[in-house]
Structure 1
Amino acid sequence: MQTTELGRTGEQVSKLSLGAMLMGTRTDEQTAFRMLDRYLDSGGSFVDTADCYAWWPAPGNTGGESETVLGRWLAARGNRDRVFLSTKGSAWVSDPDRYRGRPERPDYAGAGADTLRKALDDSLTRLGTDHVDLYYVHVDDRATPLEETLAALTGLVQAGKVRHIGWSNVRTWRLERILGLCDRHGWQAPVALQQQHSYLRPAPGARYLSIVDDEQLDHLRANPSVSLVAYSPILKGIYDDPAKRDGHPAMGDYAGPDAEARLARLTTMAGDLGVTPNQLVLAWLLHQTDPAPITLVGPRTPDQLDTALGALDIKLTDEQRTLLDG
């Protein structure tokens, strides 16, 4: 397992991060423990969750299930010092039944100072730890002044409850404003940007709120103090299955001639290499250097985790990378 520096913090984290979103709901606790053990045994260290994970899979799920399972695992294994632990606040949903199975955007808790302080304390209780290594604003909150949010996050770092902060699902102009305010006031600046990023490129006219586009990549190249954490790298597994891609919501922001050309090139090369297209996408991301993302996978089963870990063994030549990029 290769590591990479988180921003310019000096902190080394594994380039392949394990997302625990469905642990405690669609992935039962015993299976989750097996997967977490397997990930650490492979050399991984970076485990990602959020306070709202996961209220949507089934009636009775409320959020907090993932953190609770992780807390039990950390206690059972006594391995907190081996894990770079990240969680998120601001996207808690107080009435999950109102939104479960519906397309509208939920009424998130937001990033107010009191809200974040309580959300973090609740997360720490579920996780059974006195601090997290990385704490994200999960969903950018434009209704709350950034000054309030950033001052509160800085206070959480000063209190020793958070080591680093990050932001997720945010547009580039907002990230630049955040960085400017932090520089001006001496507040804790984000060192991680968690966005959706994959081999397919967003189509013209797509909604770019949560998806990395060319402008955001350019911004990250100019600001190496912020690391890209790429979530949904295999877009719910659509690369392996043409039938699954047809009409899948994950394709909505990508569909078009560019995607068709990329899928054809990817499928051919995966066949030549004897790997799956999903694995090749992960390998492609792990080979990126400008910027160098941290690739976040969220497997539901041990087999899915093993498939993702298999991407670590795929070594792409410069020629193969050029073919994929082109």
Structure 2
Amino acid sequence: MERARVGSSGLEVSRLALGTMTWSRDTGADEAGQQLDAFLDAGGTLLDTAASYADGGSEALIGSMLGGTIARGEVQICTKAGIRRTERGGVVDASRDTLLSTLDASLTRLGTDHVDLWLVHAFDPATPLEETLHALEIAANTGRARYVGVSNFPGWAMARIATLATGRPSIAATQVEYSLLERGIEREVLPAAQALGMGVLGWSPLGRGVLTGKYRDAVPADSRAASDHLSGFVAPYLDQRSGIVVGALETAAEGLGWTPLETALAWALHRPGLTSAIVGARTAKQLAPALAAAALDLPDAIAQALDEVSAPPAGYPERR
């Protein structure tokens, strides 16, 4: 598997990252271990997790693997902080106190003294960006995080915190949703990241599973859309517009002799500015096609056709 530089930083990561949102909840230890083995065998390096995934269960499961047959140096760990659990559910909190205490708890669960990339999970309008940046600076200067960045930030906030970081540890990366069904980052986030020298990690490049085509006729009983805790995550992409994009994707895939999954992932990896695409699966069997797709080269004509059918709406001031 190819590797790519994360923006203008010195960090290099695999073009595919292994997402672990379902680990310890929908994906047990045995399946997770098989996924990780297959990922490493394919040349993958970057594991993506978060303190909020399964209330820390994902990180704990990764930590148990690192304490077993997987050496720490074999993997790069990206984790996120900034979602605080309350009685009312998750609350975005990017204060210095919450970020640093969450990072320390993450390191304990992971069984390591540092993570390779640490991200603020979401933009917090109630906390000054200077305070959030100070937490990132402390994490980098104390060695708890080798590189730092943000996730799910609007373009203006991402650019602002990156600019404030001048003379401090730089904001190396942004992690955002990106697929044929969600191309909103192309308006401002992607060009801003490129101008600022930031890498872009795209989560859900398969459109929350919808771009596999498995939801075309019905909702499979064993799918995310049928589960109590993930049905709302998939539902926004079960609309008419998504159906049109999936139909075009299936036509393109048939012409190439590929699957819709392979074609959708190849499209994402073909996009300029995308450093790595984060793929997650419930089982190792589901992960295998994604690992194989990393080697596919999408023809420019097919990429252009898919670009046109999935183009995001744009207006003033992006387009006049």
TM tier relative to shorter chain? 0.7 to 0.9
Alignment of 1:156-171 (within 5 A): 156-171=139-154
The answer to whether residue 42 in structure 2 is matched with residue 6 in structure 1 is: no
In 1, the alpha carbon distance for the partners of 2:133 and 2:276 equals: 24
RMSD: 2.2
1:271 alignment partner in structure 2: 254
The answer to whether residue 56 in structure 2 is matched with residue 64 in structure 1 is: yes
Q: Which amino acid aligns with 2:251?
A: T
2:279 alignment partner in structure 1: 297
Q: How many residues align?
A: 296
In 2, the alpha carbon distance for the partners of 1:168 and 1:254 equals: 25
In 1, the alpha carbon distance for the partners of 2:38 and 2:94 equals: 34
TM-score if structure 1 supplies the norm length?
Answer: 0.84
Q: How far is the alpha carbon of 1:292 from its aligned partner?
A: 2.7
Gaps of 5+ in 1: 55-62, 100-105, 203-210
The answer to whether residue 189 in structure 2 is matched with residue 238 in structure 1 is: no
In 2, the alpha carbon distance for the partners of 1:156 and 1:218 equals: 27
Cα distance per residue 1:282-312 (max 9 Å; x no partner)? 0111122x21331001111111111211212
Question: Does the C-alpha gap of structure 1 residues 50 and 198 become closer, same or farther in structure 2, counting only changes over 3 Å?
Answer: same
Q: How far is the alpha carbon of 1:73 from its aligned partner?
A: 0.4
CA contact (8 A) 2:266 2:294 kept: yes
In 2, the alpha carbon distance for the partners of 1:276 and 1:251 equals: 22
In 2, the alpha carbon distance for the partners of 1:253 and 1:26 equals: 21
CA contact (8 A) 1:50 1:89 kept: yes
TM-score if structure 2 supplies the norm length?
Answer: 0.86
| SS of equivalent to 2:252 | helix
| SS of equivalent to 2:73 | helix
The answer to whether residue 205 in structure 2 is matched with residue 187 in structure 1 is: no
Q: Which amino acid aligns with 2:91?
A: D
CA contact (8 A) 1:201 1:213 kept: no
**Which of 85, 100, 117 is matched with 1:134 structurally?**
117
Q: How far is the alpha carbon of 1:14 from its aligned partner?
A: 0.2
Gaps of 5+ in 2: 220-224, 226-230, 309-320
CA contact (8 A) 1:35 1:302 kept: yes
CA contact (8 A) 2:203 2:279 kept: yes
In the TM superposition, structure 1's runs of 4+ consecutive aligned residues that sit over 4 Å from their partners are 253-257
CA contact (8 A) 1:200 1:254 kept: no
2:104 alignment partner in structure 1: 121
In 1, the alpha carbon distance for the partners of 2:133 and 2:218 equals: 41
1:52 alignment partner in structure 2: 52
In 1, the alpha carbon distance for the partners of 2:61 and 2:246 equals: 37
Q: How far is the alpha carbon of 1:157 from its aligned partner?
A: 0.7
